[in-house]
């Protein structure tokens, strides 16, 4: 509690001036309701002693960027603005070493996951993320409503647009050529709507974390590579002690240290993300080439690119599902809805494989039903999970790392001009 008192004490002693908190001048105001708000998004243990052991063992913490201790402590103190303006929760890559080291068994890793969910809700101006990430009913209900709308749209299209008699709806297959031009535009709309929300959330993150300091444009331009590098490589995850630097991307290295060792988290996560992004590109920008009745030979890129992407997704999601189920069976705590996103992604990949196989087997009617099921699964996943659910971290984390790099560059090069000078001792 000494650090807690000193942090508040510095804020009080410096009044009416402001203090350095996460590279942003913020007033230290206590909000007793903050802890309860965060805890609605998952497990956040309030028994933390602020001993700092979690930060000591974390290889990613450095300088004054200390976590999990700092963000957890700020929540317990009710320092809402420093919590909202801090980027530390996103710099954590969830290796779990802090939980192992915690003498109170407070599970700081789970607290950090919960805090990231809370922050995701704060970045969303619509308020939907906060509801979806804190309520199972809202989460499942949102997915079910979007899925029902997709199903209703499919029925409407076949019966009214396509002119298929009701008596033939369940027994007769229409040719697929009627669908291809329209599904392209439908897919663009499905991808464009979440993208607009995602970009607006990224801007709100900027306003909350860097809006007061306003680093110079030069810092943003010079650190742009940080954003691209993190999105493409997820290199920071490899710095976790559980990862082996320099691990080659070959199948027989997936398990380090023998058959009983856990697969490399970075490689699993990177390949799964690569497969997911590849499928987004294929079904978005290249849908006319990827989705066609033309039967290509096995060596054609249209087939093996899709096979590889699907294999990466299935391997990653299967591994995640198995591990999370085992954690639950062992009584370990877990975040709410932890199985939803990997399960939806797994089902999307499996239903896509089913469509492909049925089409090549000449089972047109079965392929139609498989395609309808595929849309009912994947559209809610994209529309709900990407902008408002667990998938938001795909943008939030790289953006946070980028903003942290911008903050540090501005602080080092132009502290006075950027309003980033630290508190004097």
Domain boundaries, the chain: 2-123, 135-403
Sequence-separated (6 or more) residues with CB below 8 Å from residue 285: none
Residue found under tokens 């560059």: 409
| β strands within 95-247, DSSP E | none
Question: Does pLDDT of 239 surpass 50?
Answer: yes
Angle in degrees, 0-180, between the axes of helices 393-413 and 224-233, rounded to the nearest 10: 150
Is 17 or 411 the better-scoring residue by pLDDT?
411
- Within 10 angstroms of residue 167's Cβ, the number of other Cβ atoms is 8
Give pLDDT, residue 183. 84
Q: According to the model, what pLDDT value does residue 290 have?
A: 80
User: Could you tell me the pLDDT band of residue 29, with boundaries at 50, 70 and 90?
Assistant: confident
Q: In the prediction, which pLDDT does 165 show?
A: 73
Three-state DSSP class for residue 30: strand
**pLDDT at 8 (0 to 100):** 41
Beta bridge partners of 19: 26
Nearby residues of 349 by Cβ (< 8 Å), 6 or more positions away:
310, 313, 314, 317
In a 10 Å sphere around its CB, with 0-12 CB exposed, 13-18 middle and 19+ buried, how is residue 354 labelled? Answer: middle
Q: What's the whole-number average pLDDT of the chain? A: 81
Residue 192 has pLDDT above 50, yes or no: yes
152-173 tens-digit pLDDT: 998 888 787 767 777 766 666 6
Q: How many CA atoms lie within 13 A of 413 on its CB side?
A: 14
Q: Which of 337, 389, 334 is nearest to 109 (CA)?
A: 334
- Would the CA dihedral through 244, 390, 402, 114 be positive or negative? negative
Render pLDDT for 2-24 as a digit per residue (tens, 0 to 9): 444 444 444 433 333 333 344 34
For the chain, state the CA radius of gyration. Answer: 24
Q: pLDDT tens digits, residue range 62-83?
A: 887 888 999 999 999 999 999 9
Q: pLDDT digits over 288-328, tens only?
A: 888 776 777 878 888 899 999 999 999 999 988 888 787 76
Q: What mean pLDDT do residues 176-202 have?
A: 85
415's torsion region: left (phi>0), alpha (psi -120 to 50) or beta? alpha
Q: pLDDT tens digit string along 47-57?
A: 888 888 888 88
Query: What pLDDT does 213 receive?
Result: 82
pLDDT at 344 over 90: yes
Lowest mean pLDDT among 78-87, 230-239, 243-252: 243-252
Contact 194, 379 (CB under 8 A): no
pLDDT for residue 258: 36
Which secondary structure element, helix H or strand E, spans residue 119, and what is its range? helix 108-123
Residue written as token pair 């976790």: 240
Q: pLDDT digits over 348-396, tens only?
A: 999 999 988 888 888 888 888 898 999 999 999 999 999 999 888 888 9
CA distance 174 to 272: 34
Residue 87 DSSP label? -
Residue 177 per-residue DSSP state = G
Domain 2-123 classification at class level:
mainly alpha
**For residue 272, which of 238, 314, 229 has the smallest C-alpha distance?**
314
Contact 40, 134 (CB under 8 A): yes
- Please confirm whether the linkage preceding 253 is cis (ω < 30° from 0): no
Least trusted range by pLDDT, from 13-22, 34-43, 100-109, 187-196: 13-22
Q: By the 8 A CB rule, do 213 and 410 touch?
A: yes
Angle at 171 between CA 166 and CA 176, to 5 degrees: 90
Band of the pLDDT at 337, cuts 50, 70, 90? low
Q: What is the pTM of this model?
A: 0.82
């Amino acid at each position: 509690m000494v650090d807690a008192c000193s942090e508040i004490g510095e804020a009080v002693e410096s009044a009416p001036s402001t203090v350095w908190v996460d590279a942003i001048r913020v007033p230290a105001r206590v909000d007793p309701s903050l802890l309860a708000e965060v805890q609605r998004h998952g497990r956040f243990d309030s028994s933390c002693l602020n001993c700092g052991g979690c930060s000591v063992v974390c290889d990613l913490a450095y300088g004054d960027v200390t976590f999990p201790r700092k963000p957890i402590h700020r929540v317990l103190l009710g320092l809402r603005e420093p919590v909202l303006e801090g980027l530390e929760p996103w710099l954590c890559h969830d290796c779990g070493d802090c939980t192992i080291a915690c003498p109170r068994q407070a599970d700081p890793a789970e607290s950090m996951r919960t805090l990231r969910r809370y922050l995701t809700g704060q970045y969303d101006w619509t308020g939907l993320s906060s509801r979806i990430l804190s309520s199972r009913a809202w989460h499942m209900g949102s997915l079910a409503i979007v899925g029902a709308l997709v199903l209703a749209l499919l029925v409407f299209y076949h019966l009214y647009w396509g002119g298929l008699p009701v008596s033939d709806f369940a027994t007769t297959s229409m040719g697929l050529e009627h669908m291809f031009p329209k599904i392209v535009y439908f897919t663009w709309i499905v991808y464009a709507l979440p993208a607009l929300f995602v970009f607006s959330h990224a801007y709100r993150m900027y306003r909350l974390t860097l809006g007061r300091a306003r680093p110079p444009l030069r810092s943003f331009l010079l650190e742009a590579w940080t954003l691209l590098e993190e999105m493409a490589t997820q290199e920071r995850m490899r710095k976790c002690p559980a990862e082996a630097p320099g691990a080659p991307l070959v199948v027989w290295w997936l398990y380090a240290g023998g058959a009983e060792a856990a697969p490399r988290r970075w490689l699993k996560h990177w390949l799964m993300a690569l497969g997911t992004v590849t499928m987004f590109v294929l079904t978005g920008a290249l849908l006319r080439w990827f989705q066609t009745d033309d039967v290509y030979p096995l060596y054609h890129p249209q087939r093996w690119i899709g096979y590889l992407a699907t294999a990466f997704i299935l391997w990653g999601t299967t591994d995640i599902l198995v591990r999370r189920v085992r954690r639950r069976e062992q009584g370990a705590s877990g975040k709410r809805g932890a199985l939803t996103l990997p399960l939806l992604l797994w089902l999307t990949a499996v239903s896509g494989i089913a469509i492909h196989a049925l089409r090549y087997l000449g089972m047109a009617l079965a392929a139609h039903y498989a395609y309808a099921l595929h849309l009912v699964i994947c559209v809610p996943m994209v529309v709900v999970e990407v902008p408002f659910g667990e998938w938001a971290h795909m943008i939030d984390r790289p953006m946070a790392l980028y903003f942290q790099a911008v903050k540090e560059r501005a602080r080092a090069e132009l502290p006075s001009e950027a309003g980033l000078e630290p508190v004097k001792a």
